[in-house]
Structure 1
């Protein structure tokens, strides 16, 4: 496997670990403000699926002796754009952004145009493109064909659960 692909794996893993650190910091603040977690199992499943997708794609690339080429470059561009979206979304939501479904007593709803016009932008502009880009980087076609549909099922359940939690607090508003 190309050393650049190993470096991309390590950088992407570091970016995801950094996002979990930010999430944990926000979670502590939310809990101090009386927030409660909804759907704890459905926090663990996407996190597990995300980690397994990363490992499966990397492993598939390793077995295939993947090299960095045009397909990898397209995947890297998609991955970078997806991670940039994550940074933007985290900045927009501030301390209410976590990887968990956390609802505080005075939970603010983002009125930013992104959230008014696209429900769950983190999932559609960050997570899904990130996984596609990541699989392309490593030429992980099996991971993409099998792992992405499995992840989609988990994500749909998560979205339904998040909508239910938000609806109970805000009516039809979306804050993710």
Structure 2
């Protein structure tokens, strides 16, 4: 179902980004021996492949075994198994459902889950950047400020601000990020 693709991509992007933030040593891990270098191993290129495979799995409802085979085939057994374990414990809310009713969700408690979720929400908005979705995104990010973790949402806030059209008013949820966004130049035409 093509309608599932944007949400699946957003969910996969959040999951892989959250995982690599938690395990930065796996972003680019060249094997020591030549034989292992001839197989799958984690690199930015293979992580991009893994993200696409995971998104395809989400969009098609692929089973765990098929997803596991695809991910370990892309980034190698070690990194793939670690990612699968991470995904089993992640259990993130669907970004599209949250954007439809941003006041009705609770921010995940763990920092890696918060980051993965916020990245997924912004990726979902990027796939269909309308003003109501953009404003819902700020409502979601404001919950991170309210929870005392604005630093976790800083990257998502910068990405979300860069989507603003000049005719869109600055929403209230942005207040906790104004200094950061002004310094980064990510908020054109701000107050």
Bin the TM-score by the shorter chain.
under 0.3
| TM-score, normalised with respect to structure 1 | 0.27
| TM-score, normalised with respect to structure 2 | 0.26
Answer 1 or 2: higher relative contact order, Cα 8 Å, separation at least 6. 1
Q: Which has the larger radius of gyration?
A: 2
